[in-house]
Amino acid sequence: MSNFKDERSKKEERYIRYGKDIVDNFDVEDDLTFWKLKSETTKNGYLIEMIHPEVSALCPVSNFADSGKITIRYVPNKKTVELKSLKLYINSYRNIGISHEDLANDVFNNLEKGLKPKYLQVVLEMAPRGNVTTIITVDTKKRKY
């Protein structure tokens, strides 16, 4: 099985496809990478926003592909997420049968676990299916509901 940290530096032709082997075998525990920030940086209380415009997964009922956009916003505490590992993590859902709600909550839970941010929001906006657009927002502030 491929290891993201080892494979991302290889120059071989089979790795030019943006980590296909890694995406197919992505292990969130080993491959989603977080970096420690300087403590003086996180004192500023800034918001990081990342938009991944091409998230896809399989409908768990029909097995048809669903696609959409995911936006992640967080105020860092001590860590940030490494962007390439985040991209590969999001791309790893492409062959998984998962509901929109579970996908948004999976991403939220895994990022919250790794980042331990001061604030986190994940917004998943799926493309229309049957003329209906689904938007799921998971937010640390919504836990009061």
In the block, tokens 């992505």 appear at: 26
More reliable by pLDDT, 23 or 67: 67
Give yes or no: 59 in active site: yes
Summarize pLDDT for 33-78 with one digit per residue, the tens. Answer: 999 988 888 888 899 999 999 999 999 999 999 999 999 999 999 9
Structure tokens at 7: 């494979």
Q: Are 48 and 75 in contact (CB under 8 A)?
A: yes
Query: What are the structure tokens assigned to 4, written together?
Result: 């993201």
Give catalytic status of residue 31 as yes or no.
no
> What H or E segment, with its residue span, contains residue 91?
helix 83-91
Instruction: Give the pLDDT of residue 5.
Output: 54
Say whether pLDDT at 8 is over 60.
no
Residue range(s) defining the domain that contains residue 39: 32-144
Question: What's the mean pLDDT in 95-106?
Answer: 96
The single residue listed with the structure tokens 């941010």 is 117
Residue 106 included in any domain:
yes
Virtual torsion, Cα 101, 126, 55, 71, nearest 10 deg: -80
CB atoms within 10 A of CB 131: 5
CATH assignment at residue 41: 3.30.1130.10
Catalytic residue, chosen from 21, 59, 102, 139, is 59
Asked, for residue 50, whether it belongs to a domain, the answer is yes
Q: How many C-beta atoms lie closer than 10 Å to residue 35's C-beta?
A: 10
Classify residue 56: in a domain, yes or no. Answer: yes
22 part of a folded domain: no
pLDDT value of position 19: 60
Residue among 24, 27, 30, 66 flagged as catalytic: 66
Judge whether 1 lies within some domain: no
> Is residue 128, in this structure, part of any structural domain at all?
yes
Residue 54 belongs to some domain of the structure: yes
**In sequence order, what E strands does the chain have?**
34-36, 48-58, 65-75, 79-81, 119-126, 135-139
What's the structural domain count of the chain?
1
143 pLDDT above the threshold of 50: yes
Q: Tell whether 19 is covered by a domain.
A: no
The average pLDDT across 76-105 equals 94
Q: Does the pLDDT at position 23 exceed 70?
A: yes
